[in-house]
Amino acid sequence: MRQKLEAFDKLADAWLREVQYNDRVLRELRRMEPTVKRILHSLDPGLAEDIYIDHRDALQLTQNDVQRALGIVADMDEWEAHLRPDSPALIADRLHPWVWESAAPMWGAGARQDAVLAAARTINRRLQQKLDRHDISDSDLCLQTFDMKEPAPGKPRLRFPGDRTRPTWRARQDGAKYFAAGAFLALRNVAAHEEVVTWSEQEALEYLASLSVIARWIEEGAVEANT
């Protein structure tokens, strides 16, 4: 980022110092503009609200933002070390592969609602495939999948490993039932049926993390069927 910003700053300075119009420099500034705008937005969205290069006064304002961004880049390590409390970071690409591999293309395009929906749909398909059950889906499927009733013909169950006589095993099994069903109701259905959902990046990431938990449970569980 530093190299890109410094190169842009240098070119902008050269163009602003030119007495005559320099088309070659301006073409290079235009080529760099999308990348510089992306970098500015990643560092501070307020810096990328307006970026223009075709007029000297506008380019001067853009150069000012680039120089501010260079200040941020220079001090980022110190901010990380001294201004933020020690806390773990939630890394998106370490979420369960069913979740992140489905969500990543939409997330990269800024479509957070579609990213959550894609992840939920993938989990639903994976659960249907694991149980070989395609007559129901989403929350209804989760309610039946993790139910502690004995499996019935055509209605297999998914069981966690462990001692089934222990209260904690029953609590986990019952909790997964309602957690998974609730996630499909509150996340998948909202993402699918609301035209626009104003989820922040942090909210959407937390929702993907919730779906990642469900994906891990599905992969961990053993299928029990009554044929």
> Could you give the CA distance from residue 37 to residue 52 in angstroms, rounded to a whole number?
10
Three-state DSSP class for residue 187 = helix
What's CA 189's distance to the chain center, in Å?
Answer: 18
Evaluate whether 103 touches 118 at the Cβ level (below 8 Å): yes
Instruction: Encode the chain (227 residues) as per-residue pLDDT tens digits.
Output: 888 888 888 888 887 877 555 778 888 888 888 888 888 888 887 776 666 677 777 788 888 888 888 888 888 777 665 556 666 778 899 999 999 999 999 999 899 999 999 999 999 999 999 999 999 999 999 999 999 999 999 999 999 999 999 999 999 999 999 999 999 999 999 999 998 888 999 999 999 999 999 999 999 999 999 87
Pairing outcome for strands 222-224 and 157-159? antiparallel
Residue 60's identity, in one-letter code, is: Q
CA distances from 52 to 8, 30, 109, 152 (A): 13, 9, 23, 66
Record the pTM. Answer: 0.65
